Amino acid sequence: MFCFQCQETAGCTGCTKFGVCGKSPDLARMQDLLIYVTKGLSEVTTRLRNEGKKVADEVNNLVTINLFTTITNANFDDLVFYERVAKTLSTKEELLATLENKENLSEAALWNASTKEEMDEKSSKVGVLATENEDIRSLRELIIYGLKGMSAYMKHANALGYDSEEVNAFMQSTLAKTLDNTLTADDLVALTLETGKVGVDAMALLDSANTGTYGHPEITKVNIGVRNNPGILISGHDLKDLELLLKQTEGTGVDVYTHSEMLPAHYYPAFKKYSHFVGNYGNAWWKQKEEFESFNGPILMTTNCIVPPKDSYKDRVYTTGAAGFAGCTHIKGNSEDDKDFSQIIEHAKKCKAPVEIETGEIVGGFAHNQVFALADKIVDAIKTGAIKRFFVMGGCDGRAKSRNYYTEFAKAIPQDTVILTAGCAKYKYNKLPLGDINGIPRVLDAGQCNDSYSLALIALKLKEVFELEDINDLPISFNIAWYEQKAVIVLLSLLYLGVKNIHLGPTLPAFLSPNVAKVLVENFGIGGITNVEDDLKMFLGEK
């Protein structure tokens, strides 16, 4: 196996024997094969579009879910990948038969298999290392990881009935281009930036889907203690699943708690009406082994990040959507009519109430609309010098000890600065007593990693208010913690919006070859992190 798509990759170069995440070599090659056949399908759909034909929603959704399923920590079930490869091949064959021009199609578009053995054989030949030139490989993977992140936004938007032919067509034509050996490194650099542009569109679509369906997030205090009823813990990012679960648990005596990236669901007005929607339990994804144990009730994983579960609670872990783990029950279905969580609810009724692991509240809900409502106050604080700088510290959390840097950084920044955050990175500092500035909390949480769009909109709004020509003239520093591929599309989107000097940590992506890293450093000022003291001086312009 060879996988280097996430920050935790072994030795900061690549997982070759077993994934640090728990991905086995067999699973890794089946994920590679799923990406390969999805590229083949995308080449065919792109040609069909060029021939003026419409591509069906189910085909677009298949491409989206295939990409999403291969995101780090989303799905560990080998069987899902065999089934999905077979489905993708049969869909592709059907579409291929309708294609008028079949000349010069790539091998990926023409390859077919009917047995598991044929799939196994192919799967070991189509991984990342099949591209020999390290710069082309680096750029192709940078684009593919960006598309994987984009697929997550699209999947969530699709679940709420929102879609975009432009984004789907771009995702598929771009996947097809990663098969094209005539494209140069320069072509791929241009395609990388275009991916960032469409990333902004996909984020905007998801934002419309979420806020159009559930209202605009508003300032909310979220309880982190527990009650005495049995509970269901819902994790991941899918708000539609949460809505269905809340409806189906109403009046059953079972409470619902959020975990990790589901925390920001509490900020939406639509979910506030549920009195059994109690609070948030635990921290970021990587602490789930201890926290799922003490939760006592069933856990529903709607997306990444799954940590391979311990036997002691594995029977309480359920998955749905793109998430999966062999041996855990998967709840099928896509919509209100066919997603039935009754099995989980009955399971919960037989469980003890959660063990309280902390008490108190955390405050969030500072997505763009809420921040714009506070704009006068914030602008005033900036003008009077009460707020001197913002630090965008969104992104991901992870198990590496080196990530304690972000806790220390949050503690060390001057009292007249404010943290803007989104994603599970916030758990490194969202329970610290960092106080407020004239009533504005010093940590403004916009929501999930999927809501990073809000951070960009806030920056653009400040640029407009202060009548600046360049977003980089704002007193905003970007010190972003990354882990998986959604962070890649956020990064590409920020680059497209013209943001420079973004610092990424705790390590730079292993998939950036020295030459590609050089392009990012020279053109965008991308940098890594060193230590809190030196970095703080650098951000504050003191060295």
Question: Under the rule (CB under 6 A), what is the footprint of ligand FS2?
Answer: 73, 260-261, 285, 304-305, 396, 423-424, 448-449, 483-484, 486
Report the residue number, 306 or 410, with the smaller CB distance to ligand SF4.
306
Strands 440-441, 503-505: pairing is: unpaired
Residue from 16, 21, 129, 136 binding ligand SF4 (CB under 6 A): 21
Residue 351 annotated in ligand binding: no
Would you count residue 137 as binding ligand SF4 (CB under 6 A)? Answer: no
15 binds, among ligand SF4, ligand FS2, none (CB under 5 to 8 A by kind): ligand SF4
CA-to-CA dists, residue 7 to 159, 424, 482, 504, 507, angstroms: 28, 14, 7, 10, 7
8 binds, among ligand SF4, ligand FS2, none (CB under 5 to 8 A by kind): ligand SF4
**Residues ≥6 apart with Cβ < 8 Å to 262:** 234, 235, 236, 237, 242, 280, 302
Number of neighbours of residue 310 by Cβ within 10 angstroms: 13
Residue from 45, 66, 72, 493 binding ligand SF4 (CB under 6 A): 72
CA-to-CA dists, residue 292 to 83, 195, 330, 401, 449, angstroms: 29, 37, 17, 21, 22
The Cα diameter of the chain in Å comes to 69
Least Å distance, CB 42 to ligand FS2, is: 23
206 binds, among ligand SF4, ligand FS2, none (CB under 5 to 8 A by kind): none
Least Å distance, CB 73 to ligand FS2, is: 6
- Burial of 268 by CB count in 10 Å (0-12 exposed, 13-18 middle, 19+ buried)? buried
Residue type, 157: A
Q: Give just the sign of the alpha carbon dihedral 393, 500, 128, 150.
A: positive
Residue from 12, 13, 15, 403 binding ligand SF4 (CB under 6 A): 15
Residue with tokens 């902004």: 200
Residue from 6, 89, 143, 317 binding ligand SF4 (CB under 6 A): 6
**Residues ≥6 apart with Cβ < 8 Å to 436:** 442
Residue 250 annotated in ligand binding: no
Query: 150, 452 in Cβ contact below 8 A?
Result: no
Phi, psi dihedral angles at 195 (to 5 degrees): -60, -40
**% helix / strand / coil in the chain, to the nearest 5?**
50, 10, 40
Least Å distance, CB 35 to ligand SF4, is: 12
Least Å distance, CB 34 to ligand SF4, is: 14
Residue 328 annotated in ligand binding: no
Would you count residue 503 as binding ligand SF4 (CB under 6 A)? Answer: no
Q: Which of 99, 82, 353 minimizes the C-alpha distance to 228?
A: 353
Would you count residue 307 as binding ligand SF4 (CB under 6 A)? Answer: no
| Virtual torsion, Cα 24, 25, 31, 36, nearest 10 deg | 180
Would you count residue 171 as binding ligand SF4 (CB under 6 A)? Answer: no
Report the residue number, 176 or 301, with the smaller CB distance to ligand FS2.
301
The H or E element that residue 364 is part of is strand 361-364
Residue 6 annotated in ligand binding: yes
Residues of 441-475 as b/e, b for ≥16 C-beta within 10 angstroms?
Answer: bbbbbbbbbbbbbbbbbbbebbbebeeeeebeebe
Residue from 9, 178, 258, 280 binding ligand SF4 (CB under 6 A): 9
Residue 484 annotated in ligand binding: yes
Residue 3 annotated in ligand binding: yes
Q: Which of 166, 500, 216 minimizes the C-alpha distance to 369?
A: 216
Would you count residue 68 as binding ligand SF4 (CB under 6 A)? Answer: no
Least Å distance, CB 5 to ligand SF4, is: 5
Residue 261 annotated in ligand binding: yes
Report the residue number, 95 or 508, with the smaller CB distance to ligand FS2.
508
* Interface segment toward ligand SF4; rule CB under 6 A; list 19-27, 193-201, 459-467, 496-504: 19-27
* Interface segment toward ligand SF4; rule CB under 6 A; list 15-23, 79-87, 143-151, 486-494: 15-23
Would you count residue 3 as binding ligand SF4 (CB under 6 A)? Answer: yes
Least Å distance, CB 27 to ligand SF4, is: 9
The H or E element that residue 35 is part of is helix 25-50
Least Å distance, CB 438 to ligand FS2, is: 31
Residue with tokens 């992190």: 529
Least Å distance, CB 281 to ligand FS2, is: 15
Residues of 54-69 as b/e, b for ≥16 C-beta within 10 angstroms?
Answer: ebeeebbbbbbbbbbb
486 binds, among ligand SF4, ligand FS2, none (CB under 5 to 8 A by kind): ligand FS2
Would you count residue 19 as binding ligand SF4 (CB under 6 A)? Answer: yes
Residue type, 388: K
Would you count residue 403 as binding ligand SF4 (CB under 6 A)? Answer: no
Least Å distance, CB 140 to ligand SF4, is: 16
Report the residue number, 72 or 168, with the smaller CB distance to ligand SF4.
72
Residue 12 annotated in ligand binding: no
Least Å distance, CB 186 to ligand SF4, is: 27
Feature table: binding site = 3, 6, 15, 21, 237, 261, 305, 396, 424, 449, 484, 486
Report the interface residues with ligand SF4, using CB under 6 A: 3-6, 8-9, 15, 19-21, 23, 72
